[in-house]
Chain A
């Protein structure tokens, strides 16, 4: 018996939905067990009636709801609240839904500043008033994670989440379980690079040069990014980006982690912990450029990023 599933993207880029498609060959079988009552990228179900005749949003009942993206405007907030009323298990899919994601970088600015920039200070744009037609949903005060608005039952973080975890979580639900979570491990726990617990010291280097490595050799022959002096957020980031096996995705490209799976556990302070991790290998952690935005790149919801009082100009 197929399970009724509601899927939608809120303040999202659609990368999470592409990750669902990247499940690959097992997807065809999985689809037989899921009956999508709504999924914007794939099925023509409408939220205001199939003939566009309704004036109120009509969210169908479902057993499981899978939602990507955070909450950026009134309409997304309303939709999320309606979904919560009509579903049993609500899944936050991806880091935007879990922690705000990249769009929550906007939380460092006042909404008016963003609108001023986009609609009046862009060199190609005719300076114009903000779009205020009732058909254009108003921004919420911040870009929020889903659990700032409603109760979330299962979180599948990642930008994007790995297909392995999407399959595992959905399979668990199909088997009648009501909970699922990633194990609390750090990216470093899954990273094969050589670690010696020390660096050459000095300031944190910018990503202006590549790592030194022999491309013919595996990642396990390359030195740890932090120990070479680069920022890598592996120590404070939840593991799982490469699925059940394999090298962390960014490291596979010989590039450092920027924290796309979010913190290892609820209530963690990745910024404080990362500064500590850099100091522990002898780096001058405070030398890091743009560190507030950098260390909260994917996790700006939950008040992690806020508008700060204007700093005096240098």
Chain B
């Protein structure tokens, strides 16, 4: 009789997932599945909505990365109406995205991931959490809560809403930034940058060296990568070309409006979450030994596909990372390391943009007229490449919507990492809560 271990829900992640691990008579792993359990149907119920309403509807796909959806959607609506936002509008969009990135990464590293490393993967679940961190390191915990709040206050103070924003619109943004608003943000921006530097240092001294053996064994798979880079190859969050890299490091660049030539999605009967795969590499195969079509997104993927970072402090960390782990770096837990390098770039970008004279420009929205069209919008969401593809009719009402969101790209890879971890750690029926937590750590690295 086979046994099924039903880990439900997967915790300290941001979505609805469970894992089923099937053991044979001898207690060895024969199968694992990461089940995506929720489906809401945005692609259907957005049909018929006015195009200009989309950025404020689809941001509700995710309460943690609403700005990513808000901006990918805005870019798709720019495309539908055939308009180019003025440079100041683009900079304001980037600024908001970068602030949201900082909050997002602080949240993941400290609230979701850190308990496994600071408290320890084998610690009892009742203390292996943010409350445990508050007790173990109250000063850091207070700072973390404060920094997250600071990011939210910056977004709200200027753009009204930190969660589910309305600020970005077809053709630009809804309001300019005036000098007093800019000045008010400079101090907090610097504070976030200092905390980002501290976080990198803290992790490099207290986390990564201690867990190097775990990093080299847990969830390790060798697959491809997808991310956005600038024309000069620097890591980019808002706009650029897509780069798809094979596990051997060779890659191909393409414009994101051609995503259909490169990305297909399979549906498997046991998950609402689809399985995107690299079409040109063959039909999706989830075999751990010989995976086909599987690629990853999110920070580790972006760090792997990029030739460099866009800001100096992040660049220094990137060089150290690449010297240590090569290109591409395949260890799954290195997502946590890559996340902090990106945190630095995002925090540096916030400061840079606030010091850009054009940020307070008055021209913030292009003239927009409803017409038929198609628009593909793509940004790098914290969790990966985010694609919104809309078509609309003559009245500017949506006729078709296709979405591929960050975590969905990682679905196949998460399944492989869970499989690898379960097979590595569960032998002859022996497992405990610590081992099952390691299975979840393989998922948490992807920050789904």
Residues of A within 8 A of B (CB): 9, 11-19, 21-25, 27-28, 31, 36, 40-48, 50-55, 72-73, 75, 101-103, 105-106, 108-109, 113-114, 117-119, 122-126, 128-129, 131-133, 135-137, 139, 143, 159-160, 206-211, 213, 215-216, 247, 249-255, 258, 260, 289-290, 293-294, 297
Contact = CB atoms under 8 A, between A and B. Distances in A.
B269 A249 contact: no
Contacts of A137: 37
Contacts of B268: 131
B161 interface: yes
B72 interface: no
B176 A122 contact: no
B82 to A, nearest CB: 13
Nearest to A75: B37
A207 B176 CA distance: 17
A160 B164 contact: yes
27 contacts: A18-B63, A19-B163, A21-B111, A22-B149, A22-B152, A22-B162, A41-B12, A42-B111, A45-B11, A46-B9, A52-B6, A103-B60, A106-B44, A117-B43, A118-B44, A119-B267, A122-B402, A123-B400, A124-B264, A131-B272, A206-B370, A206-B396, A208-B171, A215-B178, A247-B160, A254-B174, A293-B49
A72 B159 CA distance: 31
A117 B402 CA distance: 10
Given A9-B16, A11-B40, A44-B12, A21 B107 contact: yes
Contacts of B272: 131, 136
B130 interface: yes
Nearest to A102: B60
Contacts of A207: 50, 52-53, 169
B7 A133 contact: no
B254 interface: no
A25 B146 contact: yes
Interface residues of B, number: 109
Given A41-B11, A119-B267, A136-B271, A253 B37 contact: no
Contacts of B317: none
Contact of A297 (B52, B57, B112, B162): B57
Interface in B99-139: 107, 111-112, 125-126, 128-131, 134, 138
B327 interface: no
Contacts of B265: 122, 124-126
Could you say which of B44, B134, B164, B364 has the most chain A C-beta atoms within 10 Å of its C-beta?
B44
B50 A290 contact: yes
Contacts of A289: 50, 395, 397
Contact of A44 (B11, B20, B134): B11
A14 B6 contact: no
A135 to B, nearest CB: 5
B149 A25 contact: yes
B33 interface: yes
B260 interface: yes
A53 B142 contact: no
Contacts of B162: 22
A114 B45 contact: yes
Interface in B395-438: 395-397, 400, 402, 404, 431-433, 436-437
